[in-house]
Amino acid sequence: MDTILPNHKHLLSVTLQHFYPLTGNLTWLPQSNKPEILYVDGDSITFTVAESDYNFSSLCGYHGRKTNEFYPLLPQLEATSKTVLPLFALQVTIFPNSGLCIGITISHAVADRKSSNHFMKSWTSVCRLGGKDTSLILESLPVYDRTMIMDPKGIAISTLKDMEMINISKQRLIPPIKAFTDPVEKFLASFVMGQSEIDRLKKWAREQIIEKNKQTMEPPPNFSSFVVTCAYVWVCWIKALGPSIDKPREHFICSVENRMHVEPPLQLTYFGNCLRACHTIIDTINLTNEDGIAVASEAITKGIKRARSRQNSAGLDMKMASERIISVAGSSIFRVYDTDFGWGRPTKVDIISISGTGAISLSERRDGEAGLEAGLSLKKE
């Protein structure tokens, strides 16, 4: 470890030279009408090395684990003022004679999941080769040209107005700081769905929707593994929480990759954020019926199609914040278990932020078999 950590830290520095916005800060200059990422030569990230006596095997499990046990493994983005916010921090926590944890905190202002995954895969690729060949980074350099993004509908300005509703403005980029723990005890658990189970669910949901729409001319749906898994978890989540009498609607939100759907299309290595929101609203009763998973699958599929065809409105209705919302963090396309530093596949990958956002986390399966891995964080009842 005395050799590995310094080497990996050095290769992190080499990689960040090509992903330099991560070392910058989010700021809002007085003369500007929108916030921007400011990078100054010599900027750096916070890199922390810690040691823990937690039970490593337990933390890497799939059973319900206390979310508060994960927070010490994550670095915080320490702001120097209300208008200057660092964007990326990294922590390596060593569990003596057991393993280590790499905790990453990254602001969505600088990168979407595709971009942050691009960075991680670049860093691990040079680490896996022992730093002997850094040319792999050059083969897939990030693209930063923001002039490629057209905004004829003024989505940026609309979003900034929405941000004011949660106290983010030129004078205060950072919302009130919350303790880096959950005041209510929550548990994080992961569930695995095999491909055969997913395929049966696809077939059943398709048959249900064909029967429901038999009087219409709608073509039969083809549901993806992502869609039916989200629908299944969404319906289970609603049934577990129970009905909300005064809030009869349910909201589902997921991000839709948009690099290939803008005009002109962007390079896949465009670094930043290029997403559209799939926002689906369904009455609770329609989700708790016997065909609820099929109804949810149909609605999510249509929502994704709307997002890709740019039929969604410029922004989301901020008033829905008082209603129940579930969102999705991650996707199997990012292949997080292929993030190999040279030690083999990670024992476990968790997205801890879902404890605060109430999202579902999704990834491919750890064991390499076909299927999906889903994570949820809920209060213990």
- 57 to each of 92, 233, 375, how far by Cα in Å? 17, 26, 17
Instruction: State the first-to-last Cα distance of the chain, in angstroms, to the nearest integer.
Output: 41
Residues with catalytic roles: 108, 340
Contact between 229 and 305 under an 8 Å Cβ cutoff? The reply is: no
Contact 273, 301 (CB under 8 A): no
Nearest to 259 by CA among 379, 92, 122, 114: 114
364 is written with which tokens?
Answer: 């491919």
For the chain, the residue count is: 381
Reference 269, options 68, 122, 369, 130; nearest CA is 122
Q: Which residues pair with 377 in a beta bridge?
A: 188
CB atoms within 10 A of CB 37: 19
Rg of the chain over Cα atoms, rounded to whole angstroms, equals 22
> Omega before 248 cis (within 30°)?
no
Residue type at position 8: H
Token pair recorded at residue 186 = 């929550």
